[in-house]
Amino acid sequence: MMRPQPALWFEILAPREDALGIAEAIASAGLAEFESPADGGENGMHAECGPLIQRFRDLEREFGHLWQALVSEPLRAFPNEMLPTALEHIEAWAREARPVLASIEHAASEHALLDTWLTLLETSALDEAERRALAGGIVAAAIHRCPQPEAVRVPADVLLKPVPGSSPPLILAIGPAAPLAELGERIRSLGGQALAVPDGIAAGDATTALAARRSTCAAAVGAGRQRLDALAAEHGLAEAVVSAHRVCWCVDNARAVEARRALCRLTGWTCEPATLQRRLAEVAVPTLLRFAPPPRDMQVPLILRNPWWARPYEAFCGLLGMPAHDAADPSALVALVFPLLFGYMFGDLGQGLLIAALGLLLGRRWTLANLLVPAGLSAAFFGWVFGSVFSLHGVVTALWVEPLHDPMPVLLLPLGLGAALLCAGLVLAGFEARWRGEMGAWLNDDGPALVLYLGGLACLLPGVAPAAALLAAVALALLLAVRRAGNGSEVLRRIGGSLERAFQLAINTISFVRVGAFAIAHAGLSSAMLLLAAAAGDGATGVVVIVVGNLLIVGLELLVVSIQTTRLVLFEFFTRFFLASGRAFRPALPPTHAFRENHHET
């Protein structure tokens, strides 16, 4: 806690044919981030498999929607030995599957068209004269599928009629050939299209003939799919596709596999060494695992380890980046500060419990919503302190003061919290300097400013002589400023810098007055809402005003107070010490072999 933990470097020596299975087993448990001790360039396996992988990716873009979800047993072969054979099977399947797919698509398209025309005939949407015109009579006609029929500009010689009961909308156009062609162009520009007219549409037995043709198309689609299944079995498509996907995953995510004649070496980082050992034992493959010092010039990944109640607040570190190895992880401290600031600004017992309930409701789907639970409980506590329940005063007795009646204490208390938070940030910066072996530099730079700042704060405490406290602070600051100083100009520069930093700290402290100001603003908004409710009367209207007003206050101030609290934490606290130059531990994801099968409705 309070400091990122480094991941451990591991090296696994295993039989060559089991390399991919071991890498998958480790990745499926989320235990490892694979990395090669080389300079980060492409290893031999990537260079050898790269062109083959590109060929597979091209085939996947063309046929991936047809490949059924299958999982095969772990394959006992090295990736660069597995891919050529798998790709040969896939390409052989593709050569025979392309004409079959074309025939299926043609039959399915004709089936859908015939289905539309049969619906029109069976619902009597077209009369006999319109069918003759569609078949090519003296007067021409066409039916268009048009998503925006109201936007179509109709030529003067064309009669337009919507087809009743059609979805998506169909329109029947009747008129001379030239204006009909012009209308067709306009409809196509709007994303529509003309329906091809089947032969025999004007015949008396058109419905029977079209139904027979539709059955023929459905049979052709079924036969085509059976042929695809037979081709897949003939060429071993499922195993080949799974093999190719595993090779792609291995090359992209486990480049740290170094092959030898009979053995391979897998290297990377882990955060759970004991679990990694158990996982390798479950694989039941003879392996040699060792945890060694990482190679030089490699940045070690870091993991934030916090108790369960502080883990949601790791998101604040994530906004700026991973803390460095010699930097502090403030998540546990933020877990205390954030709810405290939020609750003080949003002090209402009922509204706070409502926010906590909202956090519990949304927390399962949205992780950040878990922050609302402690924030809401803190708001409920301060609502009890201020005596406010759903903006109503007098329901519970205030434990302290009411913000509108006695605003000065409400404004001054956050200044003390802000001063403590700023000092905590400087102290964390001191710990970081000590971890880096730079404590002397911190004492020279931030030490005098911190002493002056604390002396100024001591002058404000009751029972402390201001002159004595300030004099002691100045004396100690001067001692720190002249410590290891060179000439007189260097001493003056350090004294001036210390005074500037102390004044900056004082100004930053004053910015925390906004916490009390928002608490007073919340009380003022609640009071205004109660005045509106009183003006509405004592009946149902007044109750509606109170309910709607509380919902508006919760929605508005939840956004505003969250932004202000985040701003204070990031820009007033984090800027004192936070160093976001670390590398986060990102475990490799396991390979997935899920492919969606394309089903055409018939």
Are 316 and 433 in the same domain? yes
Q: At what angle do helices 79-122 and 237-253 cross, to 10 degrees?
A: 120
- The yes-or-no verdict on residue 519 having pLDDT over 90 is yes
What pLDDT digit, counting tens, does each position of 416-427 carry? 999 999 999 999
Which of 188-192, 236-240, 330-334, 458-462 has the largest mean confidence? 330-334
Please report, as a single letter, which amino acid is at residue 562. S
Position 75 scores a pLDDT of 53
Contacting residues for 199 by C-beta, under 8 A, at least 6 apart: none
- The yes-or-no verdict on residue 38 having pLDDT over 80 is no
Are 12 and 64 in the same domain? yes
Does residue 129 lie within any of the structural domains?
no
- The yes-or-no verdict on residue 41 having pLDDT over 60 is no
Distance CA 14, CA 125 (A): 72
Q: Tell me the CA end-to-end span of the chain in Å, nearest whole number.
A: 60
- How many structural domains does the chain have? 4
Classify residue 191 as left (phi > 0), alpha (psi -120 to 50) or beta.
left
Does residue 560 lie within any of the structural domains?
yes
Are 318 and 372 in the same domain? yes
Are 318 and 432 in the same domain? yes
Are 370 and 259 in the same domain? no
Are 15 and 113 in the same domain? yes
Last residue of a domain, one of 456, 474, 500: 500
Q: Give the domain extent around 189.
A: 136-196
Position 44 scores a pLDDT of 52
Does residue 516 lie within any of the structural domains?
yes
Last residue of a domain, one of 475, 500, 525: 500
Distance CA 56, CA 52 (A): 6
Does residue 126 lie within any of the structural domains?
no
Does residue 203 lie within any of the structural domains?
no
Distance CA 247, CA 56 (A): 10
Q: What percent of the chain is modeled with pLDDT above 70? A: 86
Classify residue 463 as left (phi > 0), alpha (psi -120 to 50) or beta.
left
Does residue 304 lie within any of the structural domains?
no
Are 78 and 216 in the same domain? yes
How many helices (DSSP H) and strands (DSSP E) are in the chain?
19, 14
Tokens representing 552?
A: 């508006």
Helical residues (DSSP H) of 17-127, grouped into ranges: 19-28, 44-63, 79-122
Are 6 and 24 in the same domain? yes
Question: If residue 162 lies in a helix (H) or strand (E), which one and from where to where?
Answer: strand 159-162
Are 113 and 261 in the same domain? yes
Question: If residue 521 lies in a helix (H) or strand (E), which one and from where to where?
Answer: helix 513-536
Are 384 and 453 in the same domain? no
Question: If residue 144 lies in a helix (H) or strand (E), which one and from where to where?
Answer: strand 140-145
What pLDDT digit, counting tens, does each position of 421-474 carry? 999 999 999 999 999 998 878 877 777 778 778 877 777 777 655 655 565 656
Write the CATH number for 152: 3.30.70
Does residue 335 lie within any of the structural domains?
yes
Does residue 130 lie within any of the structural domains?
no
* CA trace torsion 144, 150, 152, 156 (10° rounding): 100
Are 348 and 456 in the same domain? no
Q: What is the mean pLDDT of residues 200-217?
A: 86
Are 236 and 320 in the same domain? no
Q: What is the mean pLDDT of residues 78-102?
A: 86
